[in-house]
Structure 1
């Protein structure tokens, strides 16, 4: 009976946390601040401890998640309206490298050493500090880099080339299944797609692992391997 109760509590806890994550928004994942990280740990502890404590009932788990979710959601709303509260809870970006010079005060303030800074810089594709003009430590712990002009990539504007239209690629087939909504986005129909596949001697979309459409380009088709 206890195993059955644990199973039910795990299922309920899973869907409750899933709903809460959806409610709080994608920034909980893409912009994880220290406060968000601590909140995630506490939520996990609430559910985990409750599942294995026989004195805790299902409604207590839901109540704990609900209260914590209301607190988190309220703080999210408050930080959107109050710059001061946002700065207190989420922090603010720090300029670690300014005009090519490392700011030691900012390093100490953010508990960051030179080796860690070099590691973050390398992750951005720069292996020498002499290439960096500005480096900003973001509130989620990542770093944004503005390289010096002599190492910045050349743009069409630099070469005085005409501007070209920028378009997003659209996935038409994924794992052998046609994505009909994306056909409308691309402005094509299923008949056109099947004709394109026949040109490549492919009789069925089920034989295609991935197909991508992009304006001005040929259809990209990757077949399933035998």
Structure 2
């Protein structure tokens, strides 16, 4: 009976959590604020604790998850509807480097030390604080950086280079298999793909580890034995 209890509640909890994730949206995964972290943690605890509590049935765990999910949904709705509530539930970004100067007060308020700041800057390819004009600590713990103009990479517009149309690369072969659903997206058939491979002296797509199409460029191909 104990294994049956755990099995049934785990299955129910799994699908309920999956449903809540779909309803609440991708912010639960990609933009984890303090509130999001607590909400996900509590949802996991509700399912985990209920599995080993024989007095807790499916009705109780379903009620708890749905009630907690409703509270999260209402909170997200309120923050979307009323701008002033966002700071309360989500926090606000902090400018930790302002006009090239470290704001120690903001660092202290966010419990961030210099070493942690340097680590976050290096993740943005900024290896010297002297290169940074502004750095903003976002609500999810990441940092956004604006370099000083002297250290910014020149753009094609700055160098007066003709700007090309940006296209999305599309995979057409992966692990020796043709990704057939992607061929219509580039207007190719399998015959056209094979002709392109033959023009590169590749007899079979099964010899290909990865092949990628990009508009205006030759087909990028890497064989299994390519070093």
TM-score in same-fold range (> 0.5): yes
Indicate the SS of the match to 1:210.
strand
| Cα shift at 1:201 | 5.1
Structure 2: where are the runs of 5+ without partners?
A: none
Q: Which residue matches 1:87? A: 87
Q: CA deviation at 1:189?
A: 2.0
Q: What is the rounded CA distance, in whole Å, between the counterparts of 1:201 and 1:8 in structure 2?
A: 56
Q: Which residue of 1 aligns with 2:133?
A: 133
Structure 1, unmatched stretches of 5+, are: none
CA displacement 1:80-101 (0-9 Å, x = unmatched): 1111111210111111111101
For residue 185 of structure 1, what is the aligned residue in structure 2?
Answer: 185
Change (3 A) 1:223 1:58: farther
Partner of 2:12: 12
The 10-residue stretch of structure 1 (190-199 or 96-105) with the greater mean CA deviation from structure 2:
190-199
* Residues 95-114 of structure 1 mapped to structure 2, 5 A cutoff: 95-114=95-114
Aligned equivalents of 1:89 and 1:101: distance in 2? 29
1:1-226, aligned counterparts within 5 Å?
1-200=1-200, 202=202, 204-224=204-224
Q: Deviations over 1:52-89 (max 9, x none)?
A: 11111122222211111111112112111111111210
What TM-score results when the alignment is normalised by the length of structure 2? 0.91
Say what the alpha-carbon RMSD is for the aligned residues.
Answer: 1.9
The whole-number CA distance in structure 1 between the counterparts of 2:178 and 2:191 is: 12
Q: Deviations over 1:108-133 (max 9, x none)?
A: 22222222211211221112110110
